[in-house]
Structure 1
Amino acid sequence: MTQATKPTADTVQHVINSLLRHATGDPTGPGIRPVAAGNGCSAWWVGNHHVLRLAPDREAALRQRRELRLRDLVRPHLPVAVPAGVAHGEWAPGLTYTLDIKVPVETEQQHNVSTAGEDDLAAVLIGLRRVSVRQAEGLGVPRVAPRSLKALLQAAEWAVERLGANDEFDPAWLQQRTGPAAVRLADRPGATVLVHRALTGEHVAVGADGRVRGILGWGNAAIGDPCEDISALAAAVGAPVAVRAATLAGYSLGSCLRGLWLARCDTVIRLAEALDRADAGRLALLRVSLRHAWEAILLERLA
């Protein structure tokens, strides 16, 4: 990967001022403030209604160009908002930017998904399945091979021991909830579809009423295993919500269990790695994701 270039506030203000001069002749831009970066892009709020994202390297610029086209392809299939761009270009040679309209929801505050919100998530999963794989590939969306759940479970065994030694996780949970039949059922990738691959709390915009208002962050989308999106939702909004939404979307029990166990393995592995690196900045978020992914679903409560 090429070395990343870090845009400064002056750089961002220059881009915004240039856009305004071109559009209105007004050289004075609105206020800007940084937000958390997403998909490798530095992101800045522009006033109250727009967000500017700047690609820091050429690989990120390639993804950003593809993302603009992919959002247009996806938008007709989803019942929730997909970010719309109002301007795009280069902020440095070979490095792109996009100015998007902010999805009208309090994305900086996390809200629980309501029953109606579960219907929204189900419709999102259905919409992704309806997007033409051929058209997505024509835009340059890559294919990603399904992961081995068996290999992931082996890695998770080390991780839960590491977490158990630090009083972060009870290792018995892994043994109690991974029966051989469940693993065999879950170790079957779903049919290949367009997968968002980053349905995190940062990218699933939930309103105060619990409805899903928008899906952000399309830069890492791929053609692959739909259970990856079920997995991401389990870590973002909780295992019961994710499994109910996937069931409403028509996914089988095997697909739901696979997505659930991908999430559970990922969350323990990531938290153990963060502990080893003493990455205090990520620990709080990773603990929340782990707690969400390990919530018991109805099938487990009945058992």
Structure 2
Amino acid sequence: MNQAATPTADTVRRLVRSLLPDGGGPRITPVAEGGEHVTWFVGARHVLRLAPDREATLRQRRELRLRDLVRPHVGVAVPVSIAHGEWASGLTYTLDTLIPGGSGEQQDVSAVGEADLAGLLTGLREVPGRQAEALGVPRGTPRSLETLRAAAERAAEQLAAADEFDPSRLHQLTGAATVQLAAQPGASFLVHHDLRGEHLVVSGDGRVRGVLGWAGAVVGDPTEDIAGLAVAVGAPAAVRAATLAGYGARPCLRGLWLARCDTLTRLADHLHRSDDRLLALLRAQLGRAWEAILLERVTEFRDGTDEAL
């Protein structure tokens, strides 16, 4: 049984006191954006993440090793663990350095920040996939855009009934396009797989200073990270970053439509829940993914070619 455990504030204080020389002094506050871990700010320089169950523990142990592997390649900061171990029997923690900056959900990325994201995408291609798999990083199966489009069509009708979305916009993704934008054979790299805004650390000048949340990484379809960026920073910025990283029109458009289908189904799934904060986030993500880009108006695919932008 994989039952989650929730530490108390006293548990966290005792752990911090044992890890830091001034452990009794730093202010300890819970982090709202914490993913699968129970997460706490420790003063102004550290973040404590506690795995609540066995599965999260396995992912956290793998993440610690993976961060060391990717750090030399990606060109942006990756958290460093200054202490790690078990906070309860069989459940791990990591005390990480805090990367200065704000969440990508609240801070816009500048043109130079887009170049930072391009460096991230380029660096992920350079990480040896076999080494990542040797650390336990799983292989991810490319998703069917045709299946996603069918789910998105149903979601669009639900959203139209609630006056949230015009379903005719989805007609741009034709059946023929889903075939043309299928994942390309052999295009398999290390993929962060969770490049949402809260995992991007952005400075006041719009630079991307760090990337968090490596626990869900897979070796698989790199367009999933283009999709993540479309949701996090907007379709135009994501496509510009991917283009700078050397991706052509086909993977950019595949990533764009993955993001658009995902944001429709996620909003429809949560539309009738009484969580205003979550709904506001999902609406903002849908808006970013559906921002118009010139590429989708000028690109044509002929004989399997992949035109560069």
TM over 0.5: yes
Q: Return the alpha-carbon distance in structure 2 between the equivalents of residues 204 and 291 of structure 1.
A: 18
Match of 1:192 in 2: 188
**Which digits, 9 at most, give the CA deviation of each residue in 1:255-283, with x for residues without a partner?**
11110000000000000000144444411
CA contact (8 A) 2:80 2:96 kept: yes
Moved more, 203-212 or 64-73: 203-212
Moved more, 270-279 or 105-114: 105-114
Moved more, 201-210 or 265-274: 201-210
- After superposition, the Cα gap between the structure-2 partners of 1:89 and 1:186, relative to the gap in structure 1 and judged at 3 Å, is same
**Alpha-carbon shift at residue 34 of structure 1 (Å):** 0.2
**Alpha-carbon shift at residue 131 of structure 1 (Å):** 0.2
Q: Return the alpha-carbon distance in structure 2 between the equivalents of residues 7 and 280 of structure 1.
A: 27
Q: Return the alpha-carbon distance in structure 1 between the equivalents of residues 34 and 56 of structure 2.
A: 10
Q: Return the alpha-carbon distance in structure 1 between the equivalents of residues 14 and 104 of structure 2.
A: 26
Match of 2:7 in 1: 7
- SS of residue paired to 1:38: coil
Q: Return the alpha-carbon distance in structure 2 between the equivalents of residues 90 and 256 of structure 1.
A: 41
Matched ranges for 1:94-105 at <5 A: 94-105=90-101
Q: Return the alpha-carbon distance in structure 2 between the equivalents of residues 151 and 126 of structure 1.
A: 29
Q: Return the alpha-carbon distance in structure 2 between the equivalents of residues 268 and 58 of structure 1.
A: 32
Does residue 290 in structure 1 map to residue 281 in structure 2?
Answer: no
Select which of 49, 60, 70 maps to 2:56.
60
CA contact (8 A) 2:47 2:98 kept: yes
Q: Return the alpha-carbon distance in structure 2 between the equivalents of residues 85 and 300 of structure 1.
A: 42
Matched ranges for 1:1-303 at <5 A: 2-20=2-20, 24=21, 28-107=24-103, 110-175=106-171, 177-189=172-184, 191-300=187-296
Q: Return the alpha-carbon distance in structure 2 between the equivalents of residues 209 and 57 of structure 1.
A: 38
- After superposition, the Cα gap between the structure-2 partners of 1:244 and 1:181, relative to the gap in structure 1 and judged at 3 Å, is farther
CA contact (8 A) 1:131 1:194 kept: yes
- After superposition, the Cα gap between the structure-2 partners of 1:54 and 1:37, relative to the gap in structure 1 and judged at 3 Å, is farther
Unaligned runs of 5+ in 2: 300-309
**Alpha-carbon shift at residue 19 of structure 1 (Å):** 1.4
CA contact (8 A) 1:182 1:257 kept: no
CA contact (8 A) 2:200 2:212 kept: yes
What percentage of residue pairs aligned between the two structures are identical?
A: 62
Which segments of structure 1 move beyond 6 Å, counting only runs of 4 or more? none
**Alpha-carbon shift at residue 37 of structure 1 (Å):** 4.6
Q: Return the alpha-carbon distance in structure 1 between the equivalents of residues 179 and 16 of structure 2.
A: 54
Q: Return the alpha-carbon distance in structure 1 between the equivalents of residues 103 and 273 of structure 2.
A: 29
Moved more, 101-110 or 208-217: 101-110
- After superposition, the Cα gap between the structure-2 partners of 1:98 and 1:224, relative to the gap in structure 1 and judged at 3 Å, is same
**Which digits, 9 at most, give the CA deviation of each residue in 1:16-45, with x for residues without a partner?**
01113xxx4x66241100002534101000
Aligned AA (1:18):
S
- After superposition, the Cα gap between the structure-2 partners of 1:248 and 1:181, relative to the gap in structure 1 and judged at 3 Å, is farther
Unaligned runs of 5+ in 1: none
Aligned AA (2:177):
A
**Which digits, 9 at most, give the CA deviation of each residue in 1:97-116, with x for residues without a partner?**
00001001133872211111
Q: Return the alpha-carbon distance in structure 2 between the equivalents of residues 13 and 27 of structure 1.
A: 8
CA contact (8 A) 2:253 2:296 kept: no
Equivalent residues, number: 298
**Alpha-carbon shift at residue 8 of structure 1 (Å):** 1.3
**Alpha-carbon shift at residue 300 of structure 1 (Å):** 3.9
Moved more, 102-111 or 238-247: 102-111
CA contact (8 A) 1:36 1:42 kept: no
**Alpha-carbon shift at residue 182 of structure 1 (Å):** 3.4
**Alpha-carbon shift at residue 183 of structure 1 (Å):** 2.9
Q: Return the alpha-carbon distance in structure 2 between the equivalents of residues 143 and 27 of structure 1.
A: 40
